[in-house]
Chain A
Amino acid sequence: MASRTTFLAINFLYLMIVGSMVYAAYYYGGEASIVSLVIGVPTLVMILFAIGYGFLNGSESAVKPADTEELATAPWSRAALVGAWLLGFLILVFLIGFYASVPIFALGYLKLQGKSSWFVAMTTAALLWAVLYLSFEQLMGQELFRGIFFRALVPNF
């Protein structure tokens, strides 16, 4: 079941996005703002209504299930942990690039989160690295991001 806190959090996020865009649209004026205002103002009103409704109905039933409700059943604590892993992976990519971070992430995730054996974790990490390298770099000729750390060390890396 969807939680009221999450429902309100998403609506506040929507409020922030739509509110700032409507505010900015006033300054563009003319044609540049017309559609933004025509869509933005009613959406803003509806979001405020939804937030008010969420606050007034202090129970879980304030939020009616939507089309994807049945798909999301994972507990928040575990979802936050997976989210943290992904953010960690993203930071690693920024720092040391794809080729170094992909095997590190795969190895770390499989070993710590999946409780796999060293052999399975290392083999998977190596295979994943090889597949990415062969398919993207060799086959498609696409240069992957090398990371700011390596770029700083070796400018032409």
Chain B
Amino acid sequence: MFEGLGGASFSLFEPQAAAALFAGSIIGLIFGCIPGIGGIQAMAMLLPFTFSWEPITAVYLFCGIMGAADLGGSISAILLNTPGTPVNVATCFDGHPMARRGEAAKALGISASASLLGAFFGLFLLALLIQVMRPIVLAFGHAEIFWLVLFALVSTATISQGSLLYGLIAGGVGILLSLIGLSEATGLIRFTMGSEYLWDGLPLVPFFVGLFAIGELIDYSARGGTIATERFTASLKGVWDGVVEVFRHPGCLLRSSAIGTLIGIIPGIGGETANLIAYSVEVHSSKDPGSFGKGNPRGVIASEAANDSKDGGALLTTLSFGIPGSIAMALLLSIFIVHGVPTGPRLITEAPIFVWTLLLGYVVANTYASIFGLIGAKYLAMITQVPVYFLTPVIASVSLVGTYVLRQNIWDVALVVVVGIVGFAIRRAGMPLLPLVIGFVLGNLAEKSFLITLRIHDGAYVGFFDSAVSFVLIVISAALIVHKVLKSVVKR
């Protein structure tokens, strides 16, 4: 099992590889911070430069970027309520309220340490399971994925503090919005109202940047003052408090890391899902669910631990089967192919040293990123003390330019502004955003899984109920709804 570990350790000390790892971590952190742009864009941009490099150097550069980008995204999510990457959406829910009440440094400390520990957890499981993970992947067929999506939706609808009804409405609207454009399952272009722009569907990044960055920008620009409503001193103590806070909630950390790893293992679900599901599970398992969305540190721990642990899970399927579970993993796999490294099950048997090199590189990259994050947190937190009139043009410009650069489509920029204004109105209406976001992210996956399950079983619905995993997910989802309804009846 540990064959090749010794040889791989030496590669960490090779100057070129170490430099690539270090540079990758910094690049990932910076790209992750910029709304609309993330690690994937950095990797895609740098991919052609790495063709002539040694395979290990190229892999280390990518490890650095992947390990740091999610943490970079959490920095802008916490400070500006702008998820740097779509995988940081759930970090906004509690991270930004913490920043607004003067606890930005603490939230950044939580984010950096939870990310690091989550990544270690994911990689530790990866090292343990890499030889025996086939049954875990096979346990999640299309029907199980469909129920997992439904569970995520029900769970987030029930945690919205308003009525269950508003949560379910938002979730339904989110799913329907995700169905706009070319359907992967049927090959049909739907709900575009004749617009060519909508053929690919509503793009994820402009939708999120609008909903969170611009929606929030309107709010705090209209309020005036600073992002943090309470004065604070940006000190290392605040950052340290954040680190300590993570260790006060070991259950939350382990739960979220396990969820992140499991979701990472299942190909095709995507990193956007892990943080949202971990967040909603955390709210449900809390004795005080009302404190979430208002700056509960556990919300940040759950989101960030799941975010970084999911990479361990995603690497598991990428390395064991050669099935990339995400775009980032697909780019990583392309490095293997370009450099003639075997992929799929052959990789583990024929090039174990390469597998360990990758894992060690990933561990070091996450450590670098967290150290940079912890050191920088004290200074980054000061952003929340800058007058908002000063930040408004900066955030608006960077958000709009960042969104444009992603697809070079000017209509994405218009979408950001329109969704931002609607997002602000949704908040003002007192309606929940979380189920809308979850529905939007997972709607397509739900449809695809639903239709494939039907096809496999010749149109019979029995396929949705014939496995233990499906049964468990259905029972939990039903229990959540019943619990919420009973709770509101008892309240009255």
Binding site for B on A (CB under 8 A): 1-3, 6-7, 9-11, 13-14, 17-18, 20-21, 24-25, 28, 31-32, 34-36, 39-40, 42-43, 46-47, 49-50, 63-76, 78-79, 81-83, 85-87, 89-90, 93-94, 98, 102, 105-106, 109-110, 113-116, 124-125, 128, 132, 136, 140-145
Interface centre among A20, A39, A79, A140 (most CB of B within 10 A): A39
Q: A35-B179, A89-B417 are in contact. List 5 more A-B contacts (CB 8 A).
A: A35-B447, A63-B162, A67-B160, A79-B424, A105-B396
Contacts of A21 in B (CB 8 A): 176, 179, 191
- Interface stretch of the complex, out of B106-114, B309-317, B397-405: B397-405
The answer to whether residues A110 and B389 also contact, given A40-B172, A64-B163 and a CB cut-off of 8 A, is yes
Q: Kindly supply a per-residue 1/0 record for chain B positions 433-470, scoring 1 wherever the CB is within 8 Å of any chain A CB and 0 otherwise.
A: 11000000001001100110010000000000000000
How far does the alpha carbon of A135 sit from the alpha carbon of B421 in the complex, in Å? 28
Beta-carbon contacts under 8 Å, B394-434 to A: 394, 396-398, 400-401, 404-405, 408, 410, 413-414, 417, 420-422, 424-434
The minimal Cβ–Cβ distance linking A124 to chain B, given in whole angstroms, is: 7
The chain A residue sitting closest to B405, CB to CB, is: A142
A7 touches B430 (CB 8 A): yes
Q: How far is the CB of B226 from chain A (nearest CB, A)?
A: 13
Which residues from B are CB-within-8-Å of A47?
A: 169
Residues of chain B with a CB closer than 8 A to A70's CB: 97, 293-294
User: Which of B162, B191, B405, B427 is in CB contact (< 8 Å) with A140?
Assistant: B405
Which of chain A's residues have a CB closer than 8 A to the CB of B179? 21, 35-36
| Chain A residue with Cβ nearest B186 | A32
Chain A residues near B97 (CB, 8 Å)? Answer: 70-71
Chain B contributes a number of interface residues (CB within 8 A of A) equal to 79
CA distance A81 to B421 in the complex (A): 12
How many Å lie between the Cα of A84 and that of B134 in the bound state?
A: 55
For the complex, give the distance between the alpha carbons of A87 and B396 in Å.
11
Closest residue on chain A to residue B31 by CB atoms: A140
Closest to B450 in A: A35
Give the CA-CA distance A2 to B214 in the complex, in Å.
Answer: 19
For A70, the closest partner residue in chain B by CB is B294
Contact A14 B188 (CB under 8 A): no
Query: Do A31 and B451 contact each other (CB < 8 Å), given the known contacts A68-B432, A86-B214, A102-B397?
Result: yes
CB of B152, distance to nearest CB on chain A (Å): 14
Residues of B within 8 A of A94 (CB): 410, 414
Across the interface, B433 reaches (CB within 8 A) one of A68, A82, A98, A105, namely A68
Sampled A-B contacts (11; CB under 8 Å): A10-B422, A40-B176, A43-B176, A63-B162, A64-B161, A65-B430, A67-B159, A86-B218, A105-B397, A114-B389, A142-B408
Interface of A is mostly: helix
What separation, in Å, do the CA atoms of A7 and B93 have in the docked complex?
21
Distance in angstroms between the alpha carbons of A78 and B282 in the assembled complex: 36
Q: How far is the CA of A15 from the CA of B389 in the complex (A)?
A: 35
A143: chain B residues at CB < 8 Å are 408
Residues 331-349 of B, flagged 1 when their CB comes within 8 A of A and 0 if not, give 0000000000000000000
Within the assembled complex, what's the spacing in Å between the Cα atoms of A144 and B414? 15
Is A110 a contact of B434 with CB atoms below 8 Å?
no
Output the nearest chain A residue to B387 by Cβ-Cβ distance.
A114
Q: Does B489 contact A (CB under 8 A)?
A: no
When chains A and B are docked, how far (Å) is the Cα of A145 from the Cα of B412? 12
Point out the residue from B222, B413, B430 that lies within 8 Å of A64, measured CB to CB: B430
Given the contacts A21-B179, A144-B401, A78 and B222 also touching, CB distance less than 8 Å: yes
Chain B residue with the shortest CB-CB distance to A64: B162
Known contacts A18-B172, A63-B429, A64-B162; decide if A128 and B410 are in contact (CB<8 Å): no
**B263-321 CB contacts (< 8 Å) to partner A:** 292-294
